[in-house]
Chain A
Amino acid sequence: MAGAAKLHVLAVDDSHVDRKVIERLLKISSCKVTVVESGSSALQYLGLDGDESSIGLDSVKVNLIMTDYSMPGMTGYELLKKIKESSVFREVPVVVMSSENILTRIDSCLEEGAEEFLLKPVKLSDVKRVTDFIMRGEGKKGIKRSHKRSRSDDSTPSLSTALSSVSHPCDLPSPCVSQKKSRLSI
C-alpha cells in the first residue's frame, strides 16, 4: 500500500493483553497505532487535559479512537463525552469496546455519539470493517446525523451470546449475527 495514507488510530485500554491485541489488529489493518492505558492518558495525548502548555500547539492528528468501556478512573463513556465536547476532536469517530453486552450501555454510548460499539474480544473482521468504513470517509458523517440507532434488535444480543457459548472451533460464526450495535447501516 505504498503511498496510501494510513489511518492513525488511538487505542485506549487498561488491560495490557487487550492493548497488545488491539494494536496487532490495527497494524494488520494497515493503521498507524498509538496505544494508551487510560482515559486521562488519552486526553493528555490529545491535548485535552486542560494543561496550559498544550494550548497553541498543533493538535495531534487522529482519525479514529477505539476505547474500552470499563476502565478505572475515567470510563470509556466519560472519555467519549470529553472528546465529543472538544471542538478539535468532536468529528473524530469513537468506537467503544466492551466485554459486557448491556443494552443501556450500548444505547448511551451511541447516543453520546459513538460510531460503533464492539463486543470483546474484538475480532479482526470488526476492526477491518470499522477502518474500511473510516477510510471511505463515511465516519466523518457521524456527527451530522441526528437520528439514533437505526436498528433496534433486542433479540440479537441473546443470540450472539448463545452462539458464543456453543461455538466450536470448526464453526464460523454466522455472518448475520453481528456482535456490534451500530446506528449506521453498513
Chain B
Amino acid sequence: MDKNQSRRQVASMKQSLFDQGLLDEQFIQLEGLQDDANPNFVEEIVTLHYRDSSRLISSIEQALKERNPMDFNKLDTLMHQFKGSSSSIGAKKVKAECNLFREYCRAGNAEGCVRSFQQLKKEYVALRKKLEAYFQLARQVGPQETACRSK
C-alpha cells in the first residue's frame, strides 16, 4: 500500500472512531502532546491504560461473583478507577457504560450491574481492537501524521 493511501486510511480510521462515538476530545488533547521527541505518546498512554484496566476488569469480575451480598461499594470504587482511566484516553462509549454501571451500583441492583458490565466489556474489547489496528497503521505511516506540536 503506498504512503498516501495509508495516510488516508489512518485519517479515515480515526474519523470513524469519532463518528461512531467511541472517542472524544480527550484523544485529540493527547495527540496534541506528541512531538518529534515523543511521537508515540498516545499509543504509550493507551497501552498503559489497557494494561492497568485489565487488572481492574478482573477485580470487578471477581467482585461481581460475590452475591450474598454484592459489595456495591467495592464495585463502585473499582469502577471509579476504571472510568477515570478510560476517560483519560478519551474512551467515550466505555465511559458512558461505566456511568451506567455506577448507577446500578448506587441503586443496589445486582442484575443491572452484571448486565451492564457485560456490555461494558464488549465496548472495551471492541475499542481496544480498533485502537490496536489504528496504531499499527499509524506507525507504518510515520510520526508526521499524528504529531501536531511544532516544538
Partner of A169, one of B18, B52, B83, B84: B18
Give 10 closest A-B pairs by Cβ, nearest first.
A169-B18, A121-B26, A17-B88, A17-B49, A17-B85, A167-B25, A99-B84, A24-B33, A121-B88, A17-B48
Tell me how many residues of B have a C-beta within 8 Å of chain A: 28
Within 8 A of A (CB), among B44-76: 44-45, 48-49, 52
Asked if A16 and B52 sit within 8 Å, CB to CB, the answer is yes
* Chain A residues within 8 Å of B25, by CB: 164, 167, 169, 173
Q: Are B33 and A17 in contact (CB under 8 A)?
A: no
Task: Give how many A residues have a beta carbon under 8 Å from the other chain's beta carbons.
Answer: 21
> Is B85 in contact with A15, judged by CB distance below 8 angstroms?
yes
Q: Chain B interface (Cβ within 8 Å of chain A)?
A: 18, 23-30, 32-33, 38, 41, 44-45, 48-49, 52, 80-81, 83-85, 87-90, 149
CA A27 – CA B122 in complex, angstroms? 36
Within the assembled complex, what's the spacing in Å between the Cα atoms of A164 and B32? 18
A120-B87, A169-B24 known; A20 vs B29 contact (CB < 8 Å): no
| Interface residue ranges, A against B (CB under 8 Å) | 14-18, 20-21, 24-25, 28, 70, 99, 120-121, 123-124, 164, 167-169, 173
